[in-house]
Structure 1
Amino acid sequence: MPSGGYLWWYIDALSDDGQHGLSIIAFVGSVFSPYYAWARRRGNHTNPDNFCALNVALYSRQARRWSMTERGAAHNHRDRTRFVIGPSQLHWNGQSLCIEIDEVGVPLPRRIRGTVNLHPQQLFHFSTPLDAAGRHRWGPLAPRSRVEVDLRHPAQRWHGHAYLDSNEGDEPIERAFTEWDWSRSAMKDGSTAVIYDVEPGRANGRLLALRFGRHGSVVPFEAPPRCELPRTAWRLARRMGSEGPVQVVQQLEDTPFYQRAMLCSRLMGEPVTSFHETLHVPRLVSPVVQAMLPWRMPRRG
């Protein structure tokens, strides 16, 4: 990976009974890292492997947890099948992805410990540029998966459906983007519909609307009109393509520069429940936000 670049793997999941949810993001060259940004500004060595983190967020009425401890290169290791980040790791065994979590939450130091096993029902080798120069790319790896969650802290055991994708870039994210909205929706036929709205409403924007089929097909579809959603508590603007009204079912994350929510809307004639997120890059790189981030993203090593 080039200096200043990044790579991440993203997972979201919802239990079959709808009572539990999670998101996990494994970062190399964390785009949210203030330490990585400060090192780039100073012209210091900016090997992405020196800025790795495992972000874990748990969503349930009984227990909400959030952790994102960044670790230096001495505490990380990557090869073809394994990514070790401090005491946690991800391991691909050829059939499924096993995530062994051993993290401490912030701002309250509560333990998150246990395993998450993701079983893809179809693997994809699809990747597409998000910018005109092709320096930033995205692709789903397993948009339709099953998940087994077995946590000791907090005590949770559940099964559900999940999604796995990846983003990578050859330069810092702020060089190419201002904002984007992204959503993924599970369709009745078992396919997954993704809308990636990059630079929404701008001349240099790119709108991806792709349906990933159960047996490996990738089919574009016409994205429905953008619907403006209520601004978040941090006054972050957000949009969702929908054929009808959009309901915010649950606000999962709400920060000055990023939000994640569960939405109900209509897509391709169906009612759908979607994971939706918005990233606003100028807020992320603002000096005020960068000074706040270490409280939520401590660094070790």
Structure 2
Amino acid sequence: MSDDGTKAVSVIGFIGSVFSPWYAWSGRKDPANHCCINVATYGRGGRFTMTDRGRDALQTTPDRLQVGPSSMHWTGRELVIEIDEISSPPLISRLRGRITVTPHALTSVEMLLTPEGTHIWRPFAPSSDIKVELQAKGWQWSGHGYFDANFGTRALEQDFSFWTWGRYPTKEGATCIYDAVRRDGTTLDTAIAFDAQGEARIVKAPPRRRFKRSLWQVMRETRADAGVMPKQVLPMLDAPFYSRSAVQTQINGETVTGVHEALDLDRFASPLIKPMLAVRVPRRKGWPGA
């Protein structure tokens, strides 16, 4: 998010694009044949890009992920993201530029999201500086960000029915909230605090608190002290099954504002959703030139 709170950006590199209808229709048997670098910018003039590409577009090394014309490169000190994409309807345009993420510290922890380890969360840098340099008026800014990853061996909707996550900068570093309802009826209820050195510890957070639903009526909740109602302060991504926004809440006496997401996997599992997604997630099999 920008320092003034008016803009934000998210970039996700997928090998096996979990939200791609093309990957789902393929049977999810060949992750490398359904890869993408998803870029979304939020605020005035925001764009969304998510092109599902084939294995010819994928190149990887230990410190570099390239999918078609866009890439992520770890220099040893910072993550440099080079973007060259075309945004989805209704605002079709080219999105180019560079985003640099500089961690305050790197962690050495990961968390199992299911007892079997079919889904794993890896918070590489929960607290980072971000510099955005896009080729568009007003899209050169600095702010606060993070760098994490998820790994899985099964589809999200196989193991979860609902999922909510939040990452909130704090005076000491950052607090991440991971709450979910699993298909077996058990729940994930976890709050992790990271200090300035990247050290992690499980902390007790206040109870879940539901707040206003998204425009698509996706249920949203996060943690909040008694008597405090969380609220959206910057809309980001709103889909029939997914909400991402900047949310303000209060946790253990500290007022915090961070990125929050809610994912309704019952809705996502509906066959009606896949054709809708195909409009926003085009498929380009070949590379280069496609």
Q: TM-score, structure 1 length as denominator?
A: 0.90
Tell me which residue corresponds to 1:214.
196
Distance 2:272 2:185 in 1: 29
Structure 2, gaps ≥5 residues long:
286-290
- 2:279 is equivalent to residue 292 of structure 1: no
Q: SS at the partner of 1:287?
A: coil
Aligned residues: 282
Match of 2:154 among 149, 171, 179: 171
Provide the secondary structure at the position in 2 that maps to 1:74.
Answer: helix
Correspondence list, 1:84-123, <5 A? 84-107=66-89, 108-123=91-106
C-alpha spacing 1:35/1:19, structure 2 compared with 1 (3 Å): same
Report what 1:15 is aligned to: 2
**Cα distance in 2 between the residues matched to 1:297 and 1:184:** 26
Q: Which amino acid aligns with 1:17?
A: D
Partner in structure 1 of residue 207 of structure 2? 225
Provide the aligned C-alpha RMSD in A: 1.6
Give the match's secondary structure for 1:231: coil
Q: How does 1:1-301 map to 2 (within 5 A)?
A: 14-40=1-27, 46-61=29-44, 63-107=45-89, 108-153=91-136, 156-189=139-172, 191-199=173-181, 203-243=185-225, 244-301=228-285
Asked if 1 retains the 8 angstrom alpha-carbon contact of 2:66 and 2:72, the reply is: yes
For residues 251 and 203 of structure 1, the distance between their equivalents in structure 2, rounded to whole angstroms, comes to 31
Q: Distance in 1 between matches of 2:154 and 2:140?
A: 39
Say whether the 8 Å CA contact 1:261–1:276 is kept in structure 2.
Answer: yes
| 1:81–1:154 Cα change, 3 Å | farther
Aligned with 2:73: secondary structure?
Answer: strand
What's the CA shift string for 1:171-193, capped at 9, x where partnerless? Answer: 2222211111100100012x110
| Contact 1:113/1:154 (<8 A) preserved | no
Q: Following the alignment from structure 1 to structure 2, what is the Cα–Cα distance between the partners of residues 28 and 282? A: 23
Q: State how far apart, in whole Å, the 1-side matches of 2:136 and 2:163 are.
A: 34
Indicate how the Cα distance of structure 1 residues 117 and 274 shifts in structure 2: closer, same or farther if over 3 A, else same.
Answer: same
Amino acid at match of 2:266: P
Structure 1 stretches lacking a partner, 5+ long: 1-13
> 1:203: how far off?
4.3
Q: Percent identity?
A: 38
Task: State TM-score, norm by structure 2.
Answer: 0.93
**2:40 partner amino acid:** A
